[in-house]
Structure 1
Amino acid sequence: MVKTATAVLSALLLCAWGALAQEFVSASLNIIEELEKLKNMEQRLRTVEERLHSRSHIEKKLQKENEALKTTVEMMQATLESLQSVNEARQVAFSASLFASGSGYIGPFRSVEAALIYRKVSANFGNGYNNETGIFTAPLKGVYYFRFYAHCHTGNQMAVSLYKNDKVQCSVFSERPWTNGNASNGIVLILEKGDQIYTKLWDKSWVYDDHESYTSFGGFLLFPL
């Protein structure tokens, strides 16, 4: 009888331990699953962080490239503006005739001091010519071409010279022609910026002009130096 009770008790204890062991194993399995989930979440977090880091790196790189492009555009704009300014400075040409309206003559004078003033301006690119003084002032150093025409009537002396600063460069002359007289001359000159070009009558000479613009003065820049 005692042996039987002992056997039953042993069986009950084995069952209890078995149940506890099952619960422990089951709990262990749950813990392992949770740990695996945590590892998966950790891996996903790392992936997200790596992507964010990569995106941040790309954004910084794009920002630097954008700043570089902006600087390049600004430099190109400044260069284009400079080239435009230089191109505009090279556009030098003028043409003018003696009278803005009406007809008549200028001269003769016993002593000629001032330049002939050509009032009727048909072109003045670069604003080098001044129709208040009759003087062209070179806006930049370069090689220029100038020409001038003069007209006179029968029996009157006509003589005009072209000056660079205060020195004669070329002239036209007609000594009391039998009919109306015309003369012209031209010259290529090297000018420094600020050099002045103008024409002057000779003493005791005169020129005529009317709406046909017989007497005129003009010039233009061939190329800068």
Structure 2
Amino acid sequence: MVVLQMVLLLCAGSSLATDSCSPNVNIYAELEKLKNMDERIQKLEETLAKVLSENEALKTIVQDSQNKLKSVQKENEAKKVAFSAGLLESGTGHTGPINTPKTLVYKKVFSNIGGAYDPNTGVFTAPVKGAYYLRFYGHSHGGPNMAVSLLKNGKTQCSVFAWKPTSNGNASNGVVLTLETGDQISTQLWQNTWVFDDPASYTSFGGFLIFPL
């Protein structure tokens, strides 16, 4: 009987010891969960890095597109070239005659799209290479001859002339020229001749870009 009681006590003690050492949480299961979470975090980091890389690439594409758009807009603006101007800004009177050729400066600007005509010098400067149409008119009353030439970089291209008109002398001319960027066009009054102008702008100068080359 005593032996049986001792055996029962030993078994009860052994059971208590086992219960006290066994944890309530499954450590292996929790470690597996942590491992899975770490893998998910790593995948998220990889996905985030990929998204950031794609975003940088997208920014580069957008920037390139904006630069190309600005370049195209600039080219289109450069293709818009046209001007027209009368000789006198106001008032009435003759220019000339003088004993040397004189560049005519047209002060009354009707239009100057592209800003290639300079009303301070009377010179039109081609902003782009292309085919241009240029025309000019000359008017005078009776008296001296009226003669004006169109010049490209200082060289005569075409002219108008009226021989000592008894009343009114009128002449006009126009030409299509191939101009390089920076080529300069002006009109020149011949020596010992004159032109007349008033608010009606009888004497004028103008032109426009037909198409770029």
* TM-score, normalised by the number of residues in structure 1: 0.82
Quote the RMSD (CA, aligned, Å): 2.4
Q: Structure 2: how far apart are the matches of 1:29 and 1:139?
A: 96
Secondary structure, counterpart of 1:118 in structure 2: coil
Amino acid at match of 2:170: N
Secondary structure, counterpart of 1:187 in structure 2: strand
Q: Structure 2: how far apart are the matches of 1:186 and 1:169?
A: 10
Following superposition, the deviation at residue 188 of structure 1 comes to 0.9
Q: Structure 1: how far apart are the matches of 2:13 and 2:75?
A: 93
Structure 2 residue 76 is matched with structure 1 residue 87: yes
Q: Structure 2: how far apart are the matches of 1:23 and 1:76?
A: 82
Following superposition, the deviation at residue 36 of structure 1 comes to 6.8
Match of 1:165 in 2: 153
- Aligned partner of 2:42 among 53, 78, 82: 53
Q: Structure 2: how far apart are the matches of 1:116 and 1:88?
A: 28
Amino acid at match of 2:66: Q
Match of 1:5 in 2: none
Structure 2 residue 193 is matched with structure 1 residue 195: no
Q: Over residues 71-127 of structure 1, what are the superposed CA-to-partner deviations in whole Å (9 max), with x where a residue is unaligned?
A: 222222222222222222222221111000001111223432x21111111222232
Match of 2:121 in 1: 133
What is the 5 A alignment of 1:13-162? 13-21=3-11, 24=14, 28=18, 34=23, 37-112=26-101, 114-154=102-142, 156-162=144-150
Structure 2 residue 208 is matched with structure 1 residue 223: no
Match of 2:202 in 1: 214
Q: Tell me, which stretches of 5 or more residues in structure 1 are unaligned?
A: 1-7
Residues 35/46 of structure 1: CA separation in 2 closer, same or farther (3 Å cut): farther
Q: Structure 2: how far apart are the matches of 1:223 and 1:30?
A: 97
Structure showing greater Rg: 1
Note if contact 2:144-2:192 (Cα within 8 Å) is conserved in structure 1: no
Q: Indicate the percent of aligned positions where both proteins have the same amino acid.
A: 49
Following superposition, the deviation at residue 18 of structure 1 comes to 4.3
Following superposition, the deviation at residue 15 of structure 1 comes to 4.4
Q: Over residues 171-204 of structure 1, what are the superposed CA-to-partner deviations in whole Å (9 max), with x where a residue is unaligned?
A: 2222244552322211111111221111112333
Q: Structure 2: how far apart are the matches of 1:79 and 1:154?
A: 58
Secondary structure, counterpart of 1:80 in structure 2: helix
Amino acid at match of 2:10: L
Amino acid at match of 2:35: R
Structure 1, 23-32 or 152-161: larger mean CA deviation = 23-32
Match of 1:4 in 2: none
Q: Structure 2: how far apart are the matches of 1:51 and 1:159?
A: 89
Structure 1, 167-176 or 60-69: larger mean CA deviation = 167-176
Amino acid at match of 2:117: Y
